[in-house]
Amino acid sequence: MTVFPIEKFKELKTPFYYYDMKLLEDTLSLVKKESARYDFHVHYAIKANANDRILDKIRVKGFGVDCVSGYEIQKALDVGFSPDGIVFAGVGKADWEIELGLKNDISCFNVESLPELEIINELAGRLGKKARVAFRINPNVHANTHHYITTGLDENKFGISMPDLEALLVQMQEMKNVQFEGMHFHIGSQITDLDNFKDLCLRVNELQEWFISKHLFPKIINVGGGFGIDYDDPDNNAMADFAPYFKVFKDFLNVKAGQEVHFELGRSIVAQPGNLISRVLYVKEGVKTKFAILDAGMTDLIRPALYQAKHKIENISADKSSQKLRYDVVGPICESSDSFGKAIDLPEMKRGDLVAIRSAGAYGEVMVSRYNLREEPEAFYSDDL
Ligand SMILES: *Cc1c(COP(=O)(O)O)cnc(C)c1O
């Protein structure tokens, strides 16, 4: 459970991110232990949080990296990740991004369309390289998650649909500079119902038989990420349940001799260790509600405005036992969507109180913007305070 050093916080300029490095360490150890049980390979999805201190801990633990842009590949290389643990996904890979991956011999391009495969083949040919490729297949599997963060359905822009896959395999026979490595999937994010992953496994089993019938052996089965966390109760569920998660893949995926199973986890690794710390600027009596106006806004944490996400909000200055009042907790940005939560029961909020917005380590700091020309929030770490 994250304990906030409130006396230290009082000296700091808000808003800022605060990372519980012990919790991150424990989470990484748990992921390592539960994945190693079955020889699974885990790539950290760097888009969730690309903070140097966090990346350093992840690298030291021996994880690979899942990148979705050339900038992320460059960042991963700059902080010392080995290219042979880097995989690269994304529907719109620019030529320079593909070239960067080729020049550095990254382990796999997760290809999302036929025209992309053609360009990879062409660029690899020019560089005298052979690109290792896996096909990101849209398995048309439902993930019971918010429609903005589901990715594995026919209507999503991600991945290759089944009819296109057949055509792609025919074309690939003519391509000399790509080497088929396997299959890649990613069905969405913040998925907590393990049945969704079971459905994915069953679909993968069918698909790999299909590949084998076409005389292609998928050496790599990359099942992506998307495992969810408990946003409601970050103290009692500070780490996601990785044991049953990995076990689903062990139980339901039909893994053949010589195959490797890969994962790309982002949120479930970094969300809970991160918190956005803010101060109450004003309490305003509205006609129907009280507004607690914070100095943090959607520029610091955009998830509530972007995905209607709910983060637990805590007044960490107030006495826990004090009587609760109901507030709409909002930021200072000139947008109506700049709200962290409506009708939240909290101990009485006073000007200057410190407020923690919990579970903010994933898709938080990395999505900071300078809208309204605001400053980017600083980050502090439990190791240092
Ligand atoms: C975002 C993303 C992930 C990580 O998703 P999480 O929900 O953060 O685990 C994994 N793979 C791909 C291809 C992604 O785009």
Beta-carbon contacts of 220 under 8 Å, excluding residues fewer than 6 positions away, are: 108, 134, 181, 182, 183, 184, 259, 260, 262
Closest ligand 1 atom to the C-alpha of 265?
A: 9
- What's the CATH number where 362 sits? 2.40.37.10
Kindly give the distance from the C-alpha atom of residue 73 to the centroid of ligand 1, in angstroms, as a whole number: 15
Choose one of 270, 301, 328: the last residue of a domain: 270
pLDDT at 152: 59
pLDDT at 223: 98
pLDDT at 155: 64
Residue 1: inside a domain: no
- Tokens 């439902």, residue? 142
Pick from 199, 190, 204: nearest CA to 309: 190
Ligand 1 site-directed mutation target among 46, 66, 246, 270, most atoms within 8 Å of CB:
66
**29 lies in the same domain as 168:** yes
**317 lies in the same domain as 343:** yes
- What's the CATH number where 103 sits? 3.20.20.10
Query: What b-and-e string marks burial along 266-294, b requiring 16 or more CB atoms within 10 Å of the CB?
Result: bbbbbbbbbbbbbbbbebeeeeeebbbbb
pLDDT at 286: 87
**314 lies in the same domain as 192:** no
**29 lies in the same domain as 63:** yes
Count: domains in the chain: 2
**281 lies in the same domain as 265:** no
Closest ligand 1 atom to the C-alpha of 363?
A: 8
Query: What b-and-e string marks burial along 3-16, b requiring 16 or more CB atoms within 10 Å of the CB?
Result: ebeeeebeebebbb
**168 lies in the same domain as 310:** no
Residue 77: inside a domain: yes
- Domain of residue 357 covers 6-13+273-381
For residue 231, which amino acid is it? Y
Give the mean pLDDT per block of 10 residues along the chain (385 residues): 95 98 98 98 98 98 98 98 98 97 98 96 98 92 61 71 88 96 95 96 95 96 98 98 98 98 98 98 94 98 96 95 94 96 97 98 98 98 95
Closest ligand 1 atom to the C-alpha of 110?
A: 13
Choose one of 270, 305, 336: the last residue of a domain: 270
Residue 363: inside a domain: yes
Ligand 1 site-directed mutation target among 93, 186, 190, 220, most atoms within 8 Å of CB:
186
**150 lies in the same domain as 165:** yes
**255 lies in the same domain as 181:** yes
Give burial (CB, 10 Å; 0-12/13-18/19+) of 326.
Answer: exposed
Ligand 1 site-directed mutation target among 27, 47, 86, 137, most atoms within 8 Å of CB:
47
Residue nearest to atom 7 of ligand 1 (CA): 226
**110 lies in the same domain as 212:** yes
Pick from 313, 312, 328, 316: nearest CA to 231: 312
Residue 196: inside a domain: yes
**368 lies in the same domain as 238:** no
Kindly give the distance from the C-alpha atom of residue 333 to the centroid of ligand 1, in angstroms, as a whole number: 29
pLDDT at 322: 87
Residue 262: inside a domain: yes
Residue 233: inside a domain: yes
Choose one of 270, 303, 320: the last residue of a domain: 270
Beta-carbon contacts of 197 under 8 Å, excluding residues fewer than 6 positions away, are: 191, 223, 227, 245, 248, 249
Kindly give the distance from the C-alpha atom of residue 175 to the centroid of ligand 1, in angstroms, as a whole number: 29
Residue 90: inside a domain: yes
Q: Which residues line ligand 1 (CB under 6 A)?
A: 45, 47-48, 66, 68, 89, 186, 189, 224-227, 264-268, 362
Residue 249: inside a domain: yes
**117 lies in the same domain as 230:** yes
Check if the beta carbon of residue 184 is closer than 8 Å to that of residue 88.
no
**25 lies in the same domain as 116:** yes
